[in-house]
Amino acid sequence: MEIFVQQLINGLTLGSIYGLIAIGYTMVFGIIGMVNFAHGDVFMLSAFIALIFFLIFTTWLGISSVVLALLFVLVIAMVLTSLWGWAIERIAYRPLRGSFRLAPLISAIGVSIFLSNFVQVAQGARNKPTPPMIGDVIVLFQGESGYNVALSYKQIIIMVTTAVLLTIFWYLVQKTSLGRAQRACEQDRKMAALLGINVDRTISLTFVIGAALAAVAGTMYLLYYGVVSFNDGFVPGVKAFTAAVLGGIGSLPGAVLGGLIIGLIEVFWSAYFSIEYKDVAAFSILAIVLIFMPSGILGRPEVEKV
C-alpha cells in the first residue's frame, strides 16, 4: 500500500513532464498534420539551456535562493527554447508545405539527429550532473514496515508549475484571439487564410508555444533527475509522443491525460514488473495504440477524404 502511494506520486510527477512535452506534439500535429520528430530533442536542448543558466546564476551571479534561480532559469529557458522552436520551423518545416507527405517527417528526423549531435559536439558526450538543488521531503505517513511515503519539494514544484502553466496555456488557447486563430487553422487552413488569419504566423506561434512548454518540461526534468545528457531527448520524446497518441492526437486535454497515464504505467511497471523492460512497455503501448485505436482516448476518428 505504501509502495503504491509512493509510486502514484512518482508517476504523476513523471506524467506531468510527459504531458508538457506531449502538448507540443499534439498541437503541431493538429495544425499541420506532421509528427514533429525533433520535439524530444528540443526538450533535451532546453534541459541543457536550463543547466547552463542554473550554473551561471548560482556560481557566477551568486543567487543563493535556489527557488529564485529556478524561476529565472525557467523564464530564460522558455524564451531561448522558443527561439529554437521558431528557427527550426522556419528553416526545416516551412519550406516543405505542399511537398510530398513524408517530407516533413524526414526533415524532422534530420533536425532531431542534428540537434542531438550539435549538443554532443558543443557540450561533450558525458552525462552532466547538476549540483543538488532541493533535497527536502515531506513524510506523508509511515508504513508498518518502516517504509516512508514521501512527497519531495521537487515533486510539489513540478506538479504546481505544470498545473499553473497548463492553466495559462489553456486560457491562451481557449480565450484569446491567438487561440481562436489556431483552432481555426486546425480546422481548415485555407478557409482561415481567406478570412484574414496569418496562417504562417499562427503555425510559427504553435511551434513557439510547443517549444516553450518543452522548455518547462526540460527544466523540470533537470530538477527531478539532476542529470542530463545529449541523447536524453529520444526516449522521453517517444514516450511523450505515445502519450499524445494515447490521449488522442490533436486533443490538448488528451495529451495531458495521456502523459499522466504513460507516467503512471512506466512507474508502476518498473515497481511491480521489471525495470529493464520499462521502455519496452512504453514502445509496446505506442505500437498497440496506433494499431488498434489510432484516434486515442479523447481524439476524433480521422476521416480520409479523396
Partner 1 sequence: MNAPPITTASAESPALPNRFDLTAAIKDGLKTALIMLGLSIPILAYKTDQSGGDLWLSPRWGLVAILCALVFGLRILLHAFMATKAAREATPSPHQATEFVHAEPNAFQKTSRFAIPFFLGVALAFPVIIYFIQGGLNESRYWVDLGILILTYVMLGWGLNIVVGLAGLLDLGYVAFYAVGAYSYALLSTTFGLSFWICLPLAGILAGFWGMILGFPVLRLRGDYLAIVTLAFGEIIRLVLINWTDLTNGGAGISSIPRATFFGLPFTSGEGGFAQTFGLEFNGMHRIIFLYYLILALALLTNFVTMRLRKLPVGRAWEALREDEIACRSLGINTTNVKLTAFAIGAMFGGFAGSFFAVRQGFVSPESFNFLESAIILAIVVLGGMGSQIGVAIAAIVLVGGPEILRNLTFLQAVFGSGFDPNEYRLLLFGAGMVAMMVWRPRGLISERSPTVILKERKAISGSLVKEGHG
Compute the least distance from the CB of residue 166 to partner 1, in Å.
25
- Between CA 190 and CA 195 the distance in angstroms is 9
- Between CA 198 and CA 181 the distance in angstroms is 8
Compute the least distance from the CB of residue 140 to partner 1, in Å.
30
Please report whether residue 152 would count as binding partner 1 according to CB under 8 A: no
- Between CA 198 and CA 202 the distance in angstroms is 6
The answer to whether the CB of 256 falls within 8 A of the CB of 271 is no
Pick from 170, 283, 293, 295 the residue near partner 1 by CB under 8 A. 283
Pick from 67, 187, 284, 300 the residue near partner 1 by CB under 8 A. 284
Q: How many CB atoms lie within 10 A of CB 212?
A: 24
The answer to whether the CB of 143 falls within 8 A of the CB of 198 is no
By beta-carbon proximity to partner 1, the closer residue of 110 and 143 is 110
Identify the three-state secondary structure at position 91: helix
By beta-carbon proximity to partner 1, the closer residue of 143 and 294 is 294
Please report whether residue 301 would count as binding partner 1 according to CB under 8 A: no
Tell me which residues in 111-150 interact with partner 1 (CB under 8 A).
111-124, 126, 128-131
Instruction: Cell 532541493: give the residue.
Output: 134
Beta bridge partners of 256: none
Pick from 91, 168, 191, 195 the residue near partner 1 by CB under 8 A. 91
The answer to whether the CB of 45 falls within 8 A of the CB of 81 is yes
Please report whether residue 51 would count as binding partner 1 according to CB under 8 A: yes
By beta-carbon proximity to partner 1, the closer residue of 5 and 270 is 270
- Mark residues 235-264: x for contact with partner 1 by CB under 8 A, - for none: ---x--x-----------------------
By beta-carbon proximity to partner 1, the closer residue of 118 and 147 is 118
Please report whether residue 80 would count as binding partner 1 according to CB under 8 A: yes
Q: How many CB atoms lie within 10 A of CB 125?
A: 11
Q: Where are the beta strands (DSSP E) in the chain?
A: 128-129, 137-142, 148-152, 227-228
The answer to whether the CB of 16 falls within 8 A of the CB of 259 is yes
Please report whether residue 280 would count as binding partner 1 according to CB under 8 A: yes
How many residues touch partner 1 under the rule CB under 8 A: the total is 67
Compute the least distance from the CB of residue 223 to partner 1, in Å.
15
Identify the three-state secondary structure at position 19: helix
For the chain, helix, strand, coil in percent to 5 are 75, 5, 25
Angle at which helices 39-55 and 2-32 cross, to 10°: 120
Please report whether residue 71 would count as binding partner 1 according to CB under 8 A: no
Please report whether residue 208 would count as binding partner 1 according to CB under 8 A: no
Amino acid at 68: L
Q: Which of the ranges 152-160, 205-213, 258-266, 282-290 carries the binding residues for partner 1, by CB under 8 A?
A: 282-290
The answer to whether the CB of 239 falls within 8 A of the CB of 44 is no
Compute the least distance from the CB of residue 117 to partner 1, in Å.
4
Q: Which residues would be at the binding site for partner 1 (CB under 8 A)?
A: 34-35, 45, 48-49, 51-53, 55-56, 59-60, 80, 83-84, 87, 91-92, 95-96, 99-107, 109-124, 126, 128-131, 234, 238, 241, 274, 276-277, 279-280, 283-284, 286-287, 290-291, 294, 304, 306
